[in-house]
A and B are shown apart, each in its own frame.
Chain A
Amino acid sequence: MAARIPAEERLTNLVVALMATEIGLTKQQILDNVSGYRQRADAGTRSDALEKMFERDKEELRSLGVPIETLGDAADPNDLREARYRIPQAEYDLPADIEFTPAELAVLRLAGSVWSAESASGDAQSGVRKIRALGIDGDEPIIGFAPRITARDAAFAPLQDAIEKSRVVAFEYLKPGEAVPRRRSIRPLALVDYEARWHVFGVDVDIDEDRMFLLSRIVGDVKVTTTTFDPALRDGAGERALAGLERVSAENAALLEVTPGTEAALRLGRRATPAAQGITVPFVDLHILADELASYGPEVRVVEPAALRDAVIARLQAVVDAHAEREEAR
């Protein structure tokens, strides 16, 4: 058996081969000639196994952003037996008219440093490297600021994947106050970090309406289905999602009484407007605000809405119940 050629060597050779051809290479030419396939074919690997390997390699390269063009039979575009493959240089290269200044590189380096999640951080660094490879050295780094984005929800990665591929996803979603999670199917359009929580914005398939879901309330795995949707739905989705959240926030207001000089007065005061009796605080999610208000204990009292007041009372009661005096109390 011939020495095994590592996958990265075969894949890189494939990129080189597909870039060097104008008219494209047939699958057979690739399997016979490109180093990494050639040796396997010579060693007697069956051709259907090699073809499968080629299909996987194409997918792998596409996920790395390498555009692989398939040129079918002009007479019968669906007949792929004689299809030719190539990488069009114009679609591969970073367009020559996109240039970056040293000041822009400094900003991007700061932008690339914000991710704490390993995969997103790696992607950001890899993007910055491409700009550095253009021969640009940045200005002095912007120091003194350490912005951080955390994306520790397990649902984040599969949802991003589904958005890129315009695929419908399904997941179990547990609304606060409901005993069991409900299965939801959505066309995911955008991921939104709002008030330090990740949301997915999309179209709920069952009711065909825009909806926002908190990633932290997704229970179990996100299933990326094979059903696709029109990628045009994604256009401007991020802006629509943000506008939606701001609309909700403008429509929901809590009337609160706070004790001056306390943590509650300080923290809530930052986003409140004065009211005749107390302060008014806008909110997006009643349960998240209730969690925060419970943390202030006796420093805040909810006047209205009643649902928020009840939610805070229920939390405080649960805290009291969970900390009953022990029998062995002194």
Chain B
Amino acid sequence: MSAQPKPLLAAERVRLYLTLVPYLLEHGQVSLAEASAEFGVTPQEMRGMVEKLTVIGLPGESGYWQQPQEMFDINWDLLDLEDVIEITNDVALRRVPRFTAREAAALLAGLQMVAAVPAVSDSGLVAGLISKLSRGAADAPADVVVAPSAVDEVREVVARGLQDGVAISFTYQAPDAAPTTRTVDPVQILITNAQWYLQGWCHLRQAMRTFHLDRVSEPKLTDIPITHGGDQVPEPFAGLDDEREVTVRVSERFAPLLSGFLPATTLEAVDGSVTAHVHLADPRGIKRLAARFGGAMEVLEPGVARSSTREWAASGLALYHRPDHED
């Protein structure tokens, strides 16, 4: 985890205790580092929670404190001296609780999403898991459905190259460019917004690149073993160094739509409209995005991006002028 975990709310701590106790009982002695990584909290927070466990116990009778055996207890020496957690007395919470409706729904939707991944669909485990998650939920989860996406030949070949660790060659047709033949060491397949992207080391460009699989044709497995499999994948839509900045303006209510199409953009909101700075290899390429917004996006700078957007739409419009109406 790169981001520093945030402090937990009371309810999250309760949820954590309900799983932490059976986890610790199952595993015996667990290092503080391992337990905090497992539960996504800082080691300090985990230590605090384990120490606090010792004030949890069965209810006392009025006026009397609980007996020691009625409380959770831990091996204090082990925790203090070796940063290792061990429960030495437990009074309840021994069993793993059912999934909450939300937990089940999040995993069920995730399963539908990964069902198209060849390693998953080949396993034949999805149907069984769906039934186990549904049956193991405390309350009926809300139906959160992810429509299945088709796996065509391109997706299949790319996935096979990834699994076999060999480079793939294909024809790539980027927008507004001539087709090129690429050989790529596949590193990762990114599936987002119902689109599949291949991220990998491009032999032609000698760099990591992201390829939209809709623009890939004639995919072939090569027998070249990959040499960049362990490389860091790029941010999916990150700009390249030599790219140029385009400034656009959209009304504030369309601003969330931008994040679906663009990499990290800088947004400035003023008087209900948002100005964004977009980085593109060719600033004229903004015409496609601007046209998708149907007038709700205005390209401000540079002038060449603005005029190419206008010309793009105007030449599209011209297709609908009948010859006998031409002026």
Interface of chain A, main secondary structure: helix
Contact for A319 among B12, B61, B310, CB less than 8 A? B310
CA distance A307 to B264 in the complex (A): 36
The reply to whether A242 and B145 form a contact with Cβ atoms under 8 Å apart is: yes
Within 8 A of B (CB), among A297-325: 297-301, 309, 312-325
Q: Which residues of A contact B19 (CB under 8 A)?
A: 126, 129-130, 133
A132–B289 CA distance with the chains assembled, in angstroms: 44
Asked whether any CB of chain A lies closer than 8 Å to the CB of B256, the reply is yes
A144 vs B38: C-alpha distance when bound (angstroms): 22
A-side contacts of B203, CB under 8 Å: none
Would you call B117 and A110 a contact (CB within 8 A)? Answer: yes
Complex partner residue of B214 from A61, A266, A300, CB under 8 angstroms: A266
Q: Are B120 and A112 in contact (CB under 8 A)?
A: no
Does A48 interact with chain B (Cβ within 8 Å)? no
Taking a contact as CB atoms under 8 Å apart, the answer to whether A20 and B313 are in contact is no
Checking A92, A144, A152, A297 against B189 with a beta-carbon cut-off of 8 angstroms, the contacting residue is A144
Q: Are A33 and B62 in contact (CB under 8 A)?
A: yes
Contacts known (A129-B19, A196-B194, A314-B294); A92 close to B162, Cβ less than 8 A: no
Contact between B109 and A149 (Cβ–Cβ < 8 Å)? Answer: yes
Q: Which residues of A contact B60 (CB under 8 A)?
A: 33, 35, 38
Q: For residue A128, give the distance in angstroms from its CB to the closest CB of chain B.
A: 7
Does B55 have its Cβ within 8 Å of any Cβ on chain A? yes
Check A130 against B103 for contact (C-beta < 8 Å). Answer: yes
Binary CB contact string for chain A from 167 to 198 against chain B (1 if under 8 A, 0 otherwise): 00000000000000000000001111111100
Q: Are B291's CB and A190's CB within 8 A?
A: no
Bound state CA distance, A267 and B215, in angstroms? 7
Q: Does A213 sit within 8 A of B, measured CB to CB?
A: no
Q: In the docked arrangement, what's the CA distance between A133 and B91, Å?
A: 18
B313 touches A316 (CB 8 A): yes
Among B74-82, B125-133, B239-247, B267-275, the stretch that binds chain A is: B125-133
B204 at the interface (CB under 8 A from A): no
Picked from B27, B57, B194, B316, the residue with its CB within 8 Å of the CB of A135 is B27
A29 to B117, CA, bound (A): 54
Q: Which residues of A contact B38 (CB under 8 A)?
A: 129, 132
Chain A CB within 10 A, most for which of B40, B59, B135, B141? B59
- Is B104 positioned at the interface, with any CB of A under 8 Å from its CB? yes
Contacts A15-B14, A298-B319, A301-B319; A163 near B143 (Cβ below 8 A): yes
**Number of interface residues, chain B, beta carbon within 8 A:** 122
- Which residues of B have CB within 8 Å of A296? 288, 291, 316
Bound together, the chains give a CA A78 to CA B276 distance in angstroms of: 60
B234 within 8 A of A: no
Q: Tell me, in angstroms, the Cα distance from A99 to B175 when the chains sit together.
A: 49
Chain A residues with CB under 8 Å of B140's CB are 164, 231, 234
Known A-B contacts A64-B18, A317-B317; the reply to A16 vs B106 at CB < 8 A is no
Q: Produce 1/0 per residue, B275-287, CB < 8 A to A.
A: 0000000000001
B144 interface contact, C-beta 8 A: yes
Q: Which of A212-242 contact B (CB under 8 A)?
A: 216, 231, 234, 237-239, 241-242
* B111 closest partner in A (C-beta): A111
**A13-B56, A144-B188, A319-B313 given; A67·B162 CB < 8 A:** no
- Inter-chain residue pair count (beta carbon < 8 A): 377
Shortest CB distance A57–B (Å): 10
Docked pose: A321 CA to B295 CA in angstroms: 7
Complex partner residue of B316 from A121, A270, A294, CB under 8 angstroms = A294
- Residue B119, interface by CB 8 Å: yes
- The count of residues in chain A whose C-beta lies closer than 8 Å to any C-beta of chain B is 122
A63 near B109 with CB under 8 A, answer no
Residues of chain B contacted by A63 (CB below 8 angstroms): 11, 100
Q: Please, what's the 1-or-0 string for A23-49, where 1 marks a CB less than 8 Å from any CB in chain B?
A: 001000110111100100000000000
Q: How far is the CB of A298 from chain B (nearest CB, A)?
A: 4
**Are B316 and A316 touching (Cβ within 8 A)?**
yes
| Across-interface contacts of B291 in A (CB, < 8 A) | 294-297, 315-316, 319
Assuming the A-B contacts A15-B92, A298-B316, are A323 and B110 also in contact, with contact meaning beta carbons closer than 8 angstroms in the complex? no
A35 touching B189, Cβ below 8 Å: no
Q: Which of B285-305 contact A (CB under 8 A)?
A: 287-299, 303
Q: Does A279 contact B (CB under 8 A)?
A: no
Given A6-B10, A130-B19, A297-B287, 14 other A-B residues pairs in contact with their CB atoms under 8 A: A9-B56, A17-B59, A92-B98, A104-B132, A108-B107, A126-B103, A127-B133, A133-B23, A133-B96, A148-B192, A152-B256, A241-B143, A267-B214, A321-B295
A-B contact pairs, 9 of them (CB 8 A): A13-B56, A15-B93, A107-B114, A111-B110, A124-B106, A133-B22, A195-B194, A234-B142, A319-B310
A residues with a Cβ closer than 8 A to B are 6-9, 11-13, 15-17, 19-20, 25, 29-30, 32-35, 38, 60-61, 63-67, 89, 91-95, 98, 100, 103-104, 107-108, 110-115, 120-130, 132-135, 142, 144-150, 152, 160, 163-164, 189-196, 216, 231, 234, 237-239, 241-242, 245, 261, 263, 266-267, 270, 290-292, 294-301, 309, 312-325, 329-330
